């Protein structure tokens, strides 16, 4: 199956390199170098009920910054986004994940690693579509997670979660009362292996907590188990 990928990056040489490499891997590549042009294209596609299968988005762009594009995109689309960030800049990575990115990769990036990350995102999306046929609903502490329509609500309030956040919460609620390691969550939610200094799951957990706490204040349902991972509290009295 051929997938359509949009690369938004003003580094022309890098885009040419990635386009050539990814095109040989059964991927259709579209490249845009300007932020404003990119968001206009994405908005037009949304109106035409079209969408890319995944987006590779640079943090620093002319016209409109990558973070601004991501925030605007999340108002109308859940298309998976892999952000490219400056090497060693943890703040960019964390802000990107908190704003709705599914994953990140530092620049300069290796085309082979970028391909592996994209494949992980695409596999996760395809798995999600398959699982919609077997609908599971989890309800704990007034939180309802419906795997069929991929919606989470707290009481009567619908939460806006990214794909990675939904998968993370799904994994925790499905295993409520059990410790789920970062390694397990990374494989389940991001469909890739956890690496030593990878904080993606931590950031996704932090974002989920903030969104839940907006309606369930002072109630910590997702607890950190130091040195192990995370646990969704299953105590009915909480």
Total number of domains in the chain: 2
- Say whether both 12 and 79 belong to one domain: yes
Per DSSP, which regions of the chain are E strands?
3-8, 27-32, 54-58, 81-86, 103-107, 137-140, 143-146, 151-154, 157-159, 179-181, 222-225, 229-232
Residue scoring higher pLDDT (18 or 92): 18
Residue 33's nearest CA partner among 6, 8, 64 is: 8
Cα-based distances in Å from 234 to 43, 127, 141, 173, 194? 41, 27, 8, 9, 26
CA–CA dist 199, 207 (Å, integer): 12
Q: Which domain holds residue 192?
A: 132-232
Do residues 98 and 199 both lie within one domain? Answer: no
In a domain, 100, yes or no: yes
**Residue 110, domain CATH:** 3.40.50.2300
State the pLDDT at residue 237.
45
Residue 31, pLDDT > 90, answer yes
| Residue 131 pLDDT greater than 70, yes or no | no
Tokens 């400056």 -> residue = 86
Model pTM? 0.68
For 159-178, b/e burial (b = at least 16 CB within 10 A) is bebbbbbbbbbbbbbebbee
Cβ neighbours of residue 160 closer than 8 Å, sequence gap 6 or more: 74, 211
Has residue 234 got a pLDDT over 90? no
Does some domain include residue 238?
Answer: no
125/9 same-domain check? yes
Domain-ending residue, one of 129, 145, 174 = 129
Verify that 79 and 11 share a domain, yes or no: yes
Alpha carbons 108 and 111: distance in angstroms, whole number: 9
Last residue of one domain, picked from the residues 98, 129, 160: 129
Residue 89 located in a structural domain: yes
pLDDT tens-digit map of 86-118: 765 677 778 888 888 988 898 888 999 999 999
Question: Using alpha carbons only, how large is the chain's radius of gyration in Å?
Answer: 18
Question: Is there a domain that residue 226 lies in?
Answer: yes
Average pLDDT across the chain, whole number: 88
For the segment 114-125, the average pLDDT, to the nearest whole number, is 89
More confident residue, 55 or 216: 55
CATH number at residue 149: 1.10.10.10
138 and 97 in a common domain: no
- 185 and 100 within one domain: no
Question: What percent of the chain has pLDDT above 70?
Answer: 94
Residues 142 and 107 both lie in one domain:
no
pLDDT (average), residues 77-82 = 90
Residue with the two structure tokens 């990814």: 22
- Segment 3-26 shows an average pLDDT of 94
Q: What is the mean pLDDT of residues 182-203?
A: 88
* Res. 228 pLDDT band, cuts 50 70 90: confident
Residues 124 and 166 in one domain: no
Distance of CA 146 to the CA centre of its chain: 18
The answer to whether the CB of 114 falls within 8 A of the CB of 127 is no
pLDDT tens digits, residue range 137-186? 899 988 999 988 889 999 999 998 988 899 999 999 999 999 999 999 99
Do 142 and 201 lie in a common domain?
yes
Among 129, 153, 183, which residue terminates a domain?
129
Instruction: Verify that 192 and 176 share a domain, yes or no.
Output: yes
CB-based burial label for 1 (10 Å; 0-12, 13-18, 19+): exposed
Query: Does residue 237 lie within any of the structural domains?
Result: no
Residue 238 corresponds to which tokens in the numbers above?
A: 């909480």
Residue 198 has pLDDT above 50, yes or no: yes
Of 130 and 52, the one with more pLDDT = 52
Cα–Cα distance between 90 and 59 in angstroms, integer? 12
- Determine, yes or no, domain membership for 155: yes
Q: Do 96 and 189 fall into the same domain?
A: no
Q: Do 7 and 118 fall into the same domain?
A: yes
Lowest mean pLDDT among 23-27, 86-90, 157-161, 204-208: 86-90
Residue 219 confidence (pLDDT) above 60: yes
């Amino acid at each position: 199956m051929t997938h359509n990928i949009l690369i938004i990056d003003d580094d022309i040489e890098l885009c040419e390199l990635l386009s050539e490499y990814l095109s040989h891997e059964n991927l259709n590549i579209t490249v845009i170098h300007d932020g404003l042009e990119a968001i206009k294209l994405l908005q037009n596609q949304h109106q035409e009920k079209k969408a890319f299968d995944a987006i590779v988005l640079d943090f620093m762009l002319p016209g409109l910054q990558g973070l601004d594009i991501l925030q605007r995109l999340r108002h109308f689309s859940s298309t998976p986004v892999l952000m490219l960030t400056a090497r060693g800049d943890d703040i960019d990575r964390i802000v990107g994940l908190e704003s709705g990115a599914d994953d990140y990769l530092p620049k300069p990036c290796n085309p082979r690693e970028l391909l592996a990350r994209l494949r992980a995102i695409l596999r996760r999306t395809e798995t999600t579509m398959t699982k919609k046929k077997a609908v599971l609903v989890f309800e704990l502490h007034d939180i309802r997670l419906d795997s069929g329509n991929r919606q989470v609500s707290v009481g009567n309030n619908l939460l806006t979660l990214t794909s990675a956040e939904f998968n993370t919460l799904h994994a925790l609620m499905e295993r409520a009362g059990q410790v789920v390691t970062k390694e397990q969550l990374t494989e389940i939610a991001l469909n890739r292996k956890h690496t030593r200094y990878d904080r993606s799951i931590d950031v996704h957990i932090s974002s989920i907590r903030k969104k839940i706490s907006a309606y369930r204040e002072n109630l910590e349902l997702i607890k950190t188990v130091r040195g192990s991972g995370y646990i969704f509290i299953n105590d009915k009295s909480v």
